[in-house]
A = this chain, B = another copy of it.
Amino acid sequence: MAKIRLFIEHPLAEGQGIPLNADQAHYLGTVMRQGAGDAFLAFNGRDGEWLARIDGLSRRGGTAVAEAQTAPQRDPPDLWLMFAPIKKARTDFIVEKAAEMGAARIMPVQTEHTNSERIRQDRLQAHAVEAAEQCGGTYVPEVADLAPLSRLLDGWDSQRRILWADEALAGPAQVLAGLPRGPWAILIGPEGGFSESERARLTRLAHVTPVSLGPRILRADTAAVASLALWQAALGDWG
C-alpha cells in the first residue's frame, strides 16, 4: 500500500486526472524513486484521501489519475491558534505542531512585546502542508499573515471564544470542564509576556477564558502544543 501522501490543489474524484507540479514530480520521481504505474495518496482539503496512480513524470511536472477514495474528508474542529512568532525554528515548529494537532487556522499575531516584525507566510504554509501530509490528515490549516492582536480583538466575533494561556489562577481541569463546544481560538502569549494594557483588555472580554498551564514557565512552542492537547481532549475530536 502506498505510504507517500501529497497535498494536491486540484479536484479529486474517480478517474480524475491530476496535474503534478515540478516539485511534486521531483519528490515522487527523484526522492521517492517512483515512476509510471506507482501509486501514492492524494488529498486536497475537500475531497478526502485518494489512491492516485502516476501516469508519467518529467522535470517540469507530471500527471496522475485518482483511482479510489481511501478515506473520507475529515475536517478538524473549528479551532484557531494565535501565537506571537518567535525564533524561526520555534515558529516553524509551532506551525508543524498546530497542523498535527488539528488546528483549523494558524494565526501569527503581533503583540506589544513581540520581537518579530514579519514572517514568511509562504514558508510557514509549506510547513503546514508537509505536516498534514505526514500526519495522515485530509486538511491543511491556513496560515494567516501576521496581524496585530489589537486589530484582531477589535473585529472579533464574540461567538468565537478565546482560551488564553496565561498565569491564571485556575488550572485546565477546572477551567475546561465547564466550557461549551463551538468555535474557539487559543491565544499563546509572547515569550516576554503580554503588556499591562493587553492583559487589562483580555481580562475585560467576556469571551476570553484564562487558563493556567502549571507552575513552570513554558516556552511559547510548548504552551501551544500543551493547550491544543487540552482543548482537543476536552472539546475537540480526541473523544
A136 surroundings in chain B (CB, below 8 A): 216-217
A–B Cβ pairs within 8 angstroms, 25 of them: A74-B215, A93-B93, A97-B222, A100-B218, A100-B219, A101-B216, A101-B218, A102-B216, A135-B216, A136-B216, A171-B233, A171-B239, A173-B233, A173-B238, A173-B239, A176-B233, A213-B238, A214-B232, A214-B236, A214-B237, A215-B238, A225-B226, A226-B226, A229-B229, A230-B233
Counting every copy of the chain, the complex holds: 2
Q: Does A62 contact B (CB under 8 A)?
A: no
With A214-B102, A226-B226 as contacts: A219 and B134 at CB distance below 8 Å? yes
Q: Could you tell me the distance between the alpha carbons of A135 and B232 in the complex, rounded to whole angstroms?
A: 25
Which B residue's beta carbon lies closest to that of A174?
B239
Q: Which residues of chain A have a CB within 8 Å of any CB of chain B?
A: 74, 93, 97, 100-102, 134-137, 171-174, 176, 212-219, 222, 225-230, 232-234, 236-239
Minimum C-beta distance from A131 to chain B (A): 9
Minimum C-beta distance from A175 to chain B (A): 9
A215 surroundings in chain B (CB, below 8 A): 74, 102, 237-238
Option from B74, B217, B237, B239 in Cβ contact (under 8 Å) with A135: B217
A238 surroundings in chain B (CB, below 8 A): 171-173, 212-215
7 closest residue pairs by CB, A with B: A226-B229, A214-B238, A172-B233, A225-B225, A135-B216, A229-B229, A171-B238
A219 surroundings in chain B (CB, below 8 A): 100, 134-135
A232 surroundings in chain B (CB, below 8 A): 214
A226 surroundings in chain B (CB, below 8 A): 101, 225-226, 228-229
A229 surroundings in chain B (CB, below 8 A): 172, 213, 225-227, 229-230
Q: Could you tell me the distance between the alpha carbons of A93 and B97 in the complex, rounded to whole angstroms?
A: 13
A217 surroundings in chain B (CB, below 8 A): 100, 134-136
A102 surroundings in chain B (CB, below 8 A): 214-216
